[in-house]
Structure 1
């Protein structure tokens, strides 16, 4: 997903079946003046409708909702001609849903009890082209994903990257946006986008989060220096 151009607040759609939580998230996100919640929904059907109407930059999606849940809505959202950047809001015990969302194209995974500044920064990073993965989710998921993955093949794929591509992958795994990566490596943002696209293709990853998890799994089995 390309970074969102500046010039105005980041437009966000919120989907959660708890009105009080939506209200709290809206106040929190809009408090700094850089984010505007342009639409809300209480289920997946409503989310698809408001996304088509309001065309938000970022969608924050509760995993468990009545009717069409967050995972089903995500699978339809990513097929839209110009989908928003999608991040899932979850609780600590929904690993199966998170794994499914990962493979469906979610660019971020956030826990509902994250600190306010963490959520605001996450939306800003998503809008800038970054991948967002709460460290607590990563810690729970990695052992399962590592056991189910072909670590030898992934290690070989990472080792086959050029030195610069591995630098980009490591910063991507740290959740850095394209602009941050460019600043750290002395590259233009357009060049970083090209590197990220190449890295995703070479790793067979659908998005930045999948690439980040590959990098973290490889680091856990000896790295690829």
Structure 2
């Protein structure tokens, strides 16, 4: 569901969904209450939520859903907004549809089916021993206290999950390749015993990156 929260757009969109599914009913939800409007990444964020929902076979709750829009026929058309973690219905296909409507008129709709729907076996790690370590964990933060807090959090996480080599392997990859490396840095070698993290140090200032900020949809607000 697109779910912009607009008084005109939401009833139109939910009405179209209700016309398609008829009396069978359907769960509708939105990721915007969790992360806000992410502009050009809105569709991608919704797709990530859809994939994770299929992977875990659970529908995440829609937070901050307190007063339903009276123009949307929730009860009459069996449109359900989950406010608690909800398991996928056993009598339905494991399928999620995502609407993404661009302000400039570029609209997209993605239908995602779970791998289980195609009888594809879940991937298993066949060489778990090779993932046990050692693994280089890179830490960085914008200040020394933040770096210290980050190291402590990850060390507590490692202590609470002994023998999870594949998870530590994935963590090492993410910290090295999918996180911004900030001014205060440290590292830890995991999988070689209880070795402490290195003493953090501050690197020279880096050139300031220019960030462009775009406002979200605001046509529903006066002024």
TM-score range, shorter chain: under 0.3
Report the TM-score, using the length of structure 2 for normalisation.
0.24
- Normalized per residue, the structure richer in helix is 1
Q: Which has the larger radius of gyration?
A: 2
Report the TM-score, using the length of structure 1 for normalisation.
0.24
